[in-house]
Structures are given as C-alpha cells and as structure tokens.
C-alpha cells in the first residue's frame, strides 16, 4: 500500500488488461430527472466495466443540481459547471495519486484550487461570438511530498495528460444528444 | 412563472446584460483535498459573477470522489467521470428548461439517460493510441410537454448548442494545470 493505493491490485489490473484488452472498456451511466426550475436530480449506480455490469453499489448516489439566485435558482445544490470542476479536481488528483503509487512516490498531502471563466452571453444565446462553456480553467496543485519539485512537476503534467476528465474537457468529445 | 422559472427575473437579467455586458462574466471556483487512495473531497461555495463575489451560500457544498473496487477504490463517492455525466445532464436540462420558459413552452416532465464510453488504457498510460477521456457520450431526453415533437426536438438541439457543460465537453477548453 502506498498513498492508500493497493499497488499489487493496480499492477494485477494492468497485467490483466495486457492479456485481455477488453477488460479496459467501461461504460459509465447516469439518469437525471428535472424537478422544478434549475433543480434536477441525478442517480448514479451501475456501470459496465471489466466485461460485466458492476453490482458493487447497493444504493445509488444521488446528486442535485441547482443554480444560485443570481442565475435564477435557489442554491438547493451546486450548479452543473461547478460539478464539472469537482470532477476535474478529483480526476486529476486520483490520476496523480495512482501514478505516484506505481512510481513509489509517497504523497503526504495534495490540495488543488480551481477557477473557471464563463461568460453567460453564450448560455443565454445573446450572441454567437461568445462560447457557452468555460473559456479557461486554471488548476493549481499544492503537494507535500519528499519527492523533488522536478518529480512533482512531472507528475502533475502526467496527470493532466492522462486524467479522463481533463482529457474530456481539454479535447473534443462526441456528445450525441437526442429526443427519445 | 413557467416551468418553475421566474421569466420576469430571467428577462430582467438578459436586459441588464445588454446594458452592461460585464454582468455576464462569471468565475466559478472549487477547492479539493486528497484524503486517501481514490478518495478526495471538494468544497464549492463562492464564485464571482454579476460584478461581485457571490455570498448567497452560507455553507459550502461538499462532494466526495472515490472509485468502485474494480478501479481500486471503495465506493465512498461517485467517481469523477460519473460526476461529469451528472453535470452534463443538469446543464443540458437547465438550459432546456430556461429557454422553454422564455419561449412559453410548458414542460410536464424532463428525464434524461446518459452513457459514456471510456477505455482505461489511456488512464493507465498503457498506450498513447487510446485517449484517456470519453470516446463518446450519448444523452437521450424523454420529455412530456404539450409542445409538438418538432418544437421539442429543436429545443433539445438548442440546449446542446448552448449548455455550458455540453460546450465544455464537446469543444476544447484551455485547462491550465500547474504546481503551486
């Protein structure tokens, strides 16, 4: 165990994928139901991965999106673009922690601060000159570790390049949206 | 009020932005702290928008990321790529609900189902031929409304094109990640 990661299990997983690449294919899933105004609720439970539907979760995770009053909501939940920052922070962190463990780099603490710029001209369709999404997201990592600053800087760069959420935000994803 | 949206307030906001475009500039924020293994925790509270730091939230929203056992975690939270689906579902839904309200389209119910494909060869850095992030995300909306199917299909298309999270995932975002 290093950094709370069972490196034997992680290396076994990597070995199994090398033998059977289909183990690496995952399909994550969510359902969402609108409640009122900006309030809507997601349920997350099953996913497909390692060649089967995962049944390790006995109950679903439930999360509410809302907006603050300035965006015509009532703060009954964080808003969707804030949840994106949460996912980005977590994915960069876990990617960093796992790869540090495999490399034998001990981490004492990892903290990150995120800021992202959005101009809601895009959301409100007031102009097509302003994109609806984030114009830039800045992530700053504060890491306490016996590793050198060079090693940590390389680890942060590695996490940026291999984090699934960071890649999904940095590079285009084919998002197919349809009416059932 | 239509669809739980105060359309007067929404139209006043749009009018104010037309007079002073700086009102539309937002900076959303999150902080995250690694706990152990795949477990890390975000806090979300303040943001900048409408020309000031928002103080409408008395306490922070707190969310935990973890991974399921098959991804070397303990299911103490949904995982980061699942939180991305939650944000995407919520953002598409709120964009759809707000614009329906402005157009006078009543919605009785809005449900969505999301699926996203990831091959973890990328995350594990086993090859650079497989991207770490989502290869495709599919979103299916089930909407009950007196509006015509054509109107609803156009509304879904409009939401896809104007949702901040959907744009952030569909198109490249400049994500700057640094070691403090």
Closest chain B CA to residue A6: B72
Torsion of CA B95, B96, B98, B100, to 10 degrees: 160
Q: Residue B172: what pLDDT?
A: 98
Angle at B36 between CA B133 and CA A47, to 5 degrees: 40
Residues B164, A133: contact at Cβ < 8 Å?
A: yes
Q: Residue A131: what pLDDT?
A: 98
Whether the CA torsion B116, B120, B122, B127 is positive or negative: it is: negative
Q: Residue A102: what pLDDT?
A: 95
Cβ of B173 within 8 Å of Cβ of A135? The answer is yes
Phi/psi of residue B107, each to 5°?
A: -115, 130
Q: Residue B20: what pLDDT?
A: 98
Residues of chain B with pLDDT under 50: none
Residues A121, B161: contact at Cβ < 8 Å?
A: no
Q: How many C-beta atoms surround the C-beta of residue B36 within 10 A?
A: 15
Percent pLDDT > 70 in chain A is 100
Q: Is B141 on the interface with A (CB under 8 A)?
A: yes
Q: Residue B19: what pLDDT?
A: 97
Residue in B1, B3, B41 with CA at minimum distance from that of residue B146: B3
Which neighbouring-strand residues pair with B117? A27, B136
Reported as a single tens digit per residue, the pLDDT across A65-98 is 999 999 999 999 999 999 999 999 999 999 999 9
Of B33, B86, B134, the CB nearest to A83: B86
At A5, is the pLDDT very low, low, confident or very high (cuts 50, 70, 90)?
Answer: very high
Q: Residue B43: what pLDDT?
A: 98
Whether the CA torsion A42, A45, A48, A50 is positive or negative: it is: positive
Q: Residue A67: what pLDDT?
A: 98
Reported as a single tens digit per residue, the pLDDT across A90-147 is 999 999 999 999 999 999 999 999 999 999 999 999 999 999 999 999 999 999 999 9
Which residues from chain B sit within 8 angstroms of residue A125, using beta carbons? 99, 158, 162
Rg over alpha carbons for chain A, rounded to the nearest Å, is 19
Q: Is A113 on the interface with B (CB under 8 A)?
A: yes
- CA–CA gap between residue A135 and residue B23 (Å, rounded): 16
Closest chain B CA to residue A113: B31
């Amino acid at each position: 165990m290093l950094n709370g990661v069972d490196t034997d299990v992680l290396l076994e997983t990597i070995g199994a994928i090398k033998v059977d690449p289909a183990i690496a294919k995952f399909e994550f899933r969510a359902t969402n139901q609108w409640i009122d105004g900006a309030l809507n609720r997601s349920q997350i439970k099953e996913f497909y991965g390692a060649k089967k539907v995962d049944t390790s979760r006995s109950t679903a995770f439930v999360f509410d999106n809302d907006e603050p009053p300035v965006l015509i909501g009532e703060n009954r939940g964080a808003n969707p673009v804030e949840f994106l920052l949460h996912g980005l922070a977590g994915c960069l962190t876990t990617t960093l922690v796992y790869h540090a463990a495999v490399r034998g780099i001990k981490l004492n603490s990892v903290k990150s601060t995120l800021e992202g710029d959005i101009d809601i001209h895009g959301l409100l369709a007031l102009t097509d000159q302003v994109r609806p999404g984030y114009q830039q997201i800045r992530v700053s990592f504060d890491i306490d570790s016996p590793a050198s600053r060079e090693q940590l800087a390389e680890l942060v760069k590695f996490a940026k390049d291999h984090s699934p959420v960071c890649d999904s935000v940095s590079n285009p994803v084919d998002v197919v949206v349809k009416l059932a």
